[in-house]
Amino acid sequence: MNKIRAALILTLGLATVSVAGYGYSHRSAPGPSLNVAQASAAEPAILYYRDPGGAPSWSASPKNDAQGRAYLPVYDDAEPKFDPPPAPAEPKAAQGERKILFYRNPMGLPDTSPTPKKDSMGMDYIPVYEGDEQSDGKTIKVSLDRIQRSGVRTEPAQARVLVRALRAVGTVAIDERRVTIVTMRSDGYVEDLFVNTTGQLVRAGEPLFRVYSSDIQQALSDLLVARSWAQRGSAEVGSGKSLEGSMQRLRNLGVPENRIREIRDSGAIPRTIDWLAPAGGTVIAKRIINGQRVVAGDELYRIVDLSNLWVIADVAEGDLADIKPGMRATVTFRAYRNQPVDGVVTFIYPEVRPETRTARVRIEVANPDQRLKPDMYADVVFHVEADRAPVTTVPTSAIIDTGTRQIVLVAKGEGRFEPRPVKLGRRGDGYVEIVEGLRQGEEIVTTATFLIDAESNLQTALKTFIEQEQAK
Q: Of 336, 354, 385, which residue constitutes the final position of a domain?
A: 385
Dihedrals φ, ψ of 23, to 5°? -65, -35
Cα 314 to the center of its chain, rounded Å: 21
- Please indicate, yes or no, whether residues 168 and 312 belong to a single structural domain of this protein: yes
Please give the Cα distance from 312 to 315 (Å, whole number): 9
Concatenated DSSP letters of 156-197: E-EEE--EEEEEEEEEEEE-GGGEEEE--SS-EEEEEES--S
Kindly calculate the radius of gyration of the chain based on its CA atoms and give it in whole angstroms. Answer: 54
Cα 153 to the center of its chain, rounded Å: 20
Please give the Cα distance from 164 to 18 (Å, whole number): 117
* 447: exposed, middle or buried (Cβ count in 10 Å: 0-12, 13-18, 19+): middle
Concatenated DSSP letters of 290-304: TT-EE-TT---EEEE
CA distances from 82 to 71, 79, 86, 123 (A): 13, 9, 12, 16
Contact predicate 119/105, CB 8 Å = yes
- Tally of CA atoms within 13 A in the half-sphere of 117 that contains its CB: 11
Closest CA to 418 of 388, 389, 439: 439
- Please indicate, yes or no, whether residues 192 and 288 belong to a single structural domain of this protein: yes
Classify residue 124: in a domain, yes or no: no
Q: What is the number of helices (H) and of strands (E) in the chain?
A: 7, 29
pLDDT 10s per residue in the chain (472 long)?
A: 444 444 433 333 433 333 334 333 333 344 444 444 444 455 677 877 888 877 777 788 898 888 788 888 877 655 444 454 554 554 444 445 677 877 877 766 667 788 898 888 788 888 877 655 444 556 666 666 666 666 778 889 988 887 777 899 999 999 999 999 999 999 999 999 999 999 999 999 999 999 999 999 999 988 988 888 887 765 444 455 688 888 999 999 999 888 898 888 888 889 999 999 999 999 999 999 999 999 999 999 999 999 999 999 999 998 898 899 999 999 999 999 999 999 999 999 999 999 999 999 999 999 999 999 999 999 999 987 745 678 899 988 888 887 788 888 888 877 777 888 899 988 877 888 899 889 888 988 887 666 665 555 555 555 555 555 555 5
Q: What is the extent of the structural domain holding 50?
A: 46-75
Classify residue 54: in a domain, yes or no: yes
Dihedrals φ, ψ of 334, to 5°? -65, -20
- Please indicate, yes or no, whether residues 212 and 294 belong to a single structural domain of this protein: yes
- Please indicate, yes or no, whether residues 62 and 144 belong to a single structural domain of this protein: no
Contact predicate 269/275, CB 8 Å = no
Classify residue 201: in a domain, yes or no: yes
Say which DSSP state 437 is in. Answer: S
Q: Of 272, 298, 324, which residue constitutes the final position of a domain?
A: 298
Classify residue 30: in a domain, yes or no: yes
- Spatial strand order in the sheet of 72-75: 58-59, 46-50, 72-75
Which residues, other chains included, contact 315 with Cβ-Cβ below 8 Å and sequence gap of 6+?
166, 168, 323, 358, 359, 360, 361, 382
Classify residue 103: in a domain, yes or no: no
- Please indicate, yes or no, whether residues 191 and 285 belong to a single structural domain of this protein: yes
Classify residue 94: in a domain, yes or no: no
What is the tally of structural domains in the chain?
5
Cβ atoms < 10 Å from Cβ of 455: 20
- Please indicate, yes or no, whether residues 234 and 195 belong to a single structural domain of this protein: yes
- Please indicate, yes or no, whether residues 381 and 404 belong to a single structural domain of this protein: no
The DSSP H or E segment spanning 107 is none
Whether this prediction's pTM lies above 0.85 is answered by no
- Please indicate, yes or no, whether residues 398 and 451 belong to a single structural domain of this protein: yes
Dihedrals φ, ψ of 100, to 5°? -80, 120
Classify residue 412: in a domain, yes or no: yes
Pairing verdict, β 431-436 and 308-316: unpaired
- Please indicate, yes or no, whether residues 240 and 378 belong to a single structural domain of this protein: no
- Please indicate, yes or no, whether residues 200 and 272 belong to a single structural domain of this protein: yes
Say which DSSP state 224 is in. Answer: H
CATH number at residue 461: 2.40.420.20
Contact predicate 342/320, CB 8 Å = no
CA distances from 299 to 145, 165, 230, 375 (A): 83, 44, 38, 23
Classify residue 288: in a domain, yes or no: yes
Cβ atoms < 10 Å from Cβ of 351: 7
- Please indicate, yes or no, whether residues 354 and 288 belong to a single structural domain of this protein: no
- Please indicate, yes or no, whether residues 426 and 395 belong to a single structural domain of this protein: yes
Which residues, other chains included, contact 451 with Cβ-Cβ below 8 Å and sequence gap of 6+?
150, 152
Q: Of 385, 401, 429, which residue constitutes the final position of a domain?
A: 385
